[in-house]
Amino acid sequence: MVFKKISLQNFRNYTKAEFEFSPSTTIIVGPNAIGKSNLLDAIYLLSTGKSNRTDKDIQLVQFGKEVCRIGGKVSEVLRVSKVSDAPEEETDLEVVFAQSPTGFFQKKYMVNGVSKRRADFQGKMSVVEFSPLDIDIVAGQPGSRRKFLDEVLEQIDIEYRNAHVSYTKAIRQRNALLEQVQKSGIRNEKLFIYWNELVIKNGQIVTAKREEFIEYINNRKKEIFDFTLIYDNSIISEERLLQYKDAEVGAGVTLVGPHRDEVIIKAVSKISKSLEEVKYFGSRGQQRLVSLELKLSQIAIIDEKMENQPLLLLDDVFSELDSSNIDHVLDLMNIYQTIATTTHKEFIGKDSLGQMQMIDLTEQK
Ligand code: ATP
Ligand code: MG
């Protein structure tokens, strides 16, 4: 699969723009605040249907505008051939966000002009994004680690996507119900039966698949830094819901289930010779290496499970890494189609730069 081009309309700081990409490496260069990360986020959105930077889609629509469009073209070479005019199959992807004057917000996902649910839109192209924010997967709150698991599993497994969407919706409804009980003091058990069944069924799928992926990461030979994941999962079952029945009403939210999972990351300390939690004891550099290694696992599993290789999005990673890790990333760039941003092209090194396509955003303005 090759990601060929993108067109943007009223997306963040882009009023109207179009970019074409090299099948190997494209470097997006430009000063701070010119729109480098926004451009990568638009590509991420075409892959996953979601922004990697915000949960609030409305923030993606340019200030003062009502409709925002992101369109992309991916191509598939149908026959393995060295001839450059080998037949290609092209797919058009489009995401539209629209805000009506009454405040109603609408999202639309389209493949070749046909409307899709987000879960069916996703999966046409896989991306793996590397950004300085990745360190949050290791050093941040449990939600950052759950987000990583979701991002990977949603990309490779439609059953996970469906279960996760249903679970999240059902938890929201169940929480609204708990809030009502909290306010009114009246609990209608019948209303809970339906939502309980849904959260248990879908929650258990989510847990099982997260467990499997964590095992995959633990069994994978690490390339740059060794660590172990411990899945501290919040089991959801009829018994557990019963156990937390009163506490839930007090809290007004569902207290058990994969939305409360934690993943603990441990590595061997040279001093204690035992496993210690990287979040608390690891150096900033070690935390960065773990996050880089997690991304390598993401690439590996997409490579294994999906027909297409992932597209790599590298947001400003060169300024953060030391030279041996830059080399590691440059090796990846030789294997996968890559779109990378940087404020200074010097970070990349003259030798590699020659073969790369350059988009200078300052010239576009
Ligand atoms: P840096 O090198 O600092 O990371 P960048 O080139 O990655 O910069 P972006 O994060 O892409 O910059 O942001 C570019 C600009 O987009 C910012 O100035 C920001 O204020 C603007 N912006 C963000 N959201 C919107 C929006 N909804 N409407 C208009 N402009 C927006
Ligand atoms: Mg940026």
Annotate 226-239 with DSSP letters as a single string. Answer: --EEEEE-----HH
pLDDT at residue 242, rounded to an integer:
96
Q: Which of 37, 69, 361 to mutate to test the pocket of ligand 1 (most atoms within 8 A of CB)?
A: 37
Is the C-beta atom of 288 inside 6 A of ligand 1?
no
pLDDT at residue 80, rounded to an integer:
47
Which of 345, 363, 341 shows the shortest CA–CA distance to 354? 345
Contact 205, 170 (CB under 8 A): no
Ligand at minimal distance from the CA of 29 is 1
- Of 81-85, 130-134, 162-166, least confident by mean pLDDT is 81-85
Which of 333, 328, 327, 360 shows the shortest CA–CA distance to 345? 360
Distance of alpha carbon 127 from alpha carbon 269, whole angstroms: 33
Residue 360 has pLDDT above 60, yes or no: yes
Q: Which of 14, 27, 34 to mutate to test the pocket of ligand 1 (most atoms within 8 A of CB)?
A: 34
Residue 18 has pLDDT above 80, yes or no: yes
| Average pLDDT in the chain | 92
Percent of the chain with pLDDT over 90: 79
- Write b or e for each residue in 25-41: b if 16 or more Cβ atoms lie within 10 A of its Cβ, otherwise e: bbbbbbeeebbbbbbbb
> What average pLDDT does the segment 113-120 reach?
94
Q: Which residue has the higher pLDDT, 172 or 85?
A: 172
- The pLDDT confidence band at residue 122, using thresholds 50, 70 and 90, is very high
- The pLDDT confidence band at residue 101, using thresholds 50, 70 and 90, is confident
